[in-house]
Amino acid sequence: MIKRVKELAAEMKPALLDLAQRAIRCPSLSGQEGAVSEIFLSELQKLGYDEAFRDDWGNIVGIVRGTEDGPTIMYNGHLDHVDVGDPSEWGGYEPYGGVIDVAEIYNEAGTALEKAEVIHGRAAADTKSGLACQIYSGAILARLKKEGYRFKGNYMVSAVVMEEPAEQIGMVGLYEETLPARGLTVDGVVSCEATSLKIYCGHRGRVELNVEVSGVTSHGSTPWLGVNAVNKAMKLIDAVEKRYAEEFQVDEKLGKSSIALTIISCTPGAMCIVPDRCSITYDRRLVPTETPEDAVREIQEIIDRLHAEDPDFRAAVKVSTVPRTTYTGKEVALPNIKEGWRIAEDHPFVAAAAKGLAGIGEPVSYSYWDFGTDLAMICGRHGVAAIGYSPMQEYYCHRPVDMCRIDFMERALVGNIAIFSELTKLSGEDFKL
């Protein structure tokens, strides 16, 4: 069957690249994924998936059912992308151009640059190229079934909305609402977040913390009559930096926990007025042994100590929660949390994926994401086994050199199926973390 898979992969390569180009040329900022969802849904319907639908959240799902009963493996990516930033930083490439040419790009190991054919444009590396590969891997399976080949289990593709804001809104809606309502189950997941054809086995968690420091307004000419919230906030910033420089937890695979100040603002923010509010946002990265509650407690301890030292210091910390609206009009406000998770490299799920790749002559290596993904909810919250496998490279995500190697896409097209074939041989506890 693999011989036929490779033949079909070569035959479908032009259509695969055309889908990736059309998707990249279609802007899809978070909450604005409607147009690109149509591109992917139409492709699923055209390619002979047994089922293809859009849910109430705007997520797109396609299913190719096997000829024999078996587990359902969900291949997942997201429809949205981050802003393109300053177009002048794109080296002459149009951010939504989807141009294919030969360019310098890192090798598979990420150790040296080399020339390769690539596709350029926003989301080429996060995650439209990977999604196109997942969809066409399913198309190959659909074709195989039509030709009389037999295989076990169900191949599901999901393209979710609003991954970038980090609350996992699309994945939460899909996994906790849509799939149960339709009587669909998922046994394991393969994410197409960037892995450079390696098997990725986890990432740190994340919680976005908001600290509001309070003061008292006064005229700028008489600052002694007020309490400058920004000046007080500086005490907090220094204390937070000192604490996390000295105290942090370390995971042997994922590295150390961390904190970064990402946003700061004050009000009223007007001439001649001492500010009475200073709002600070922190990006706190968690190893799996830490919880969001731990992160809040640690900042609260700093606030309490500073207040004891200075009664005029007043502040409150909470997990950020921002109301969001999907392109379908679904309104929701979820705490900005991603759980940390890690699956062992010798776990049966990982071992099966590795066996699939090795069986087609692909090198097998393992790594871990620096950033977070929607697998946080699948693995960290629900304990379902998952990995990352993708042609895209982490280095090019969210950057003006956003691109993906075409040769990696060709390999992933076959690799997805090789992984699927081995994962569908598993059962029961093999799918539990």
Q: Which amino acid is at 85?
A: G
Assign 236 a pLDDT band (cuts: 50, 70, 90).
very high
225-228: list long-range contacts, CB under 8 Å, 24+ apart. Answer: 226/274, 226/276, 227/274, 227/276, 227/312, 228/274, 228/275
- Let me know whether 60 and 198 are in one domain: yes
- Let me know whether 179 and 35 are in one domain: yes
End-to-end CA distance of the chain: 30
Taking only the tens place, the pLDDT of each residue in 132-168 is 999 999 999 999 999 999 999 999 999 999 999 989 9
**Rounded-to-10 torsion of CA 189, 190, 192, 196:** 150
Q: Are 328 and 53 in contact (CB under 8 A)?
A: no
C-alpha distances in angstroms, 272 versus 223, 268, 277, 283, 302? Answer: 9, 10, 15, 32, 31
Domain tally, the chain: 2
The mean per-residue pLDDT over the stretch 95-120 comes to 97
Sheet of 403-405: strand order equals: 100-106, 113-120, 403-405
What pLDDT is recorded for position 227?
A: 98
The mean per-residue pLDDT over the stretch 407-418 comes to 98
Q: Which residues pair with 212 in a beta bridge?
A: 279, 316
Assign 384 a pLDDT band (cuts: 50, 70, 90).
very high
Q: Chain-wide mean pLDDT for the chain?
A: 97
Q: For residue 333, is it within any domain?
A: no
Backbone φ and ψ of 260, nearest 5°: -140, 130
Rounded CA separation 191/390 (Å): 7
* Domain edge (last residue) among 324, 357, 386: 324
Q: Which amino acid is at 254?
A: L
Residue-range definition of the domain harbouring residue 249: 205-324
What pLDDT is recorded for position 407?
A: 98
- Let me know whether 6 and 151 are in one domain: yes
CATH classification of the domain holding 414 = 3.40.630.10
Q: Shortest CA distance to 414 belongs to which of 368, 369, 357?
A: 357
Q: Are 125 and 393 in contact (CB under 8 A)?
A: yes
CATH classification of the domain holding 240 = 3.30.70.360
- Let me know whether 95 and 21 are in one domain: yes
What pLDDT is recorded for position 301?
A: 98
pLDDT > 70: what percent of the chain? 100
Assign 226 a pLDDT band (cuts: 50, 70, 90).
very high
The mean per-residue pLDDT over the stretch 2-12 comes to 97
Q: Shortest CA distance to 146 belongs to which of 8, 17, 249?
A: 8
319: left (phi over 0), alpha (psi -120 to 50) or beta: beta
- Let me know whether 155 and 80 are in one domain: yes
- Let me know whether 51 and 181 are in one domain: yes
Q: Shortest CA distance to 371 belongs to which of 200, 196, 130, 203?
A: 203
Q: For residue 155, is it within any domain?
A: yes
Two tokens, residue 317: 């910390």
Q: Shortest CA distance to 205 belongs to which of 145, 282, 284?
A: 284
What pLDDT is recorded for position 333?
A: 95
Q: Shortest CA distance to 191 belongs to which of 151, 163, 154?
A: 163
The mean per-residue pLDDT over the stretch 289-301 comes to 96
Q: For residue 330, is it within any domain?
A: no
What pLDDT is recorded for position 285?
A: 97
- Let me know whether 225 and 116 are in one domain: no
Q: For residue 331, is it within any domain?
A: no
Q: For residue 80, is it within any domain?
A: yes
What pLDDT is recorded for position 429?
A: 94
* Domain edge (last residue) among 269, 293, 324: 324
What pLDDT is recorded for position 91?
A: 94
What pLDDT is recorded for position 191?
A: 98
Q: For residue 329, is it within any domain?
A: no
- Let me know whether 310 and 396 are in one domain: no
Q: For residue 393, is it within any domain?
A: yes
Q: Which amino acid is at 41?
A: L
- DSSP H/E element including 200: strand 199-203
Q: Which residues pair with 255 in a beta bridge?
A: 251
Q: For residue 334, is it within any domain?
A: no
Taking only the tens place, the pLDDT of each residue in 168-201 is 999 999 999 999 999 999 999 999 999 999 999 9
- Let me know whether 193 and 58 are in one domain: yes
Residue for token digits 């097998």? Answer: 364
C-alpha distances in angstroms, 119 versus 265, 269, 331? Answer: 38, 44, 34
- Let me know whether 233 and 316 are in one domain: yes
- Let me know whether 132 and 261 are in one domain: no
Taking only the tens place, the pLDDT of each residue in 48-71 is 999 999 999 999 999 999 999 999
* Domain edge (last residue) among 278, 298, 324: 324
What pLDDT is recorded for position 375?
A: 97
What pLDDT is recorded for position 320?
A: 97
The mean per-residue pLDDT over the stretch 416-425 comes to 98
Taking only the tens place, the pLDDT of each residue in 327-366 is 999 999 999 999 999 999 999 999 999 999 999 999 999 9
C-alpha distances in angstroms, 333 versus 167, 172, 209, 226, 294? Answer: 9, 12, 15, 35, 22
- Let me know whether 169 and 192 are in one domain: yes
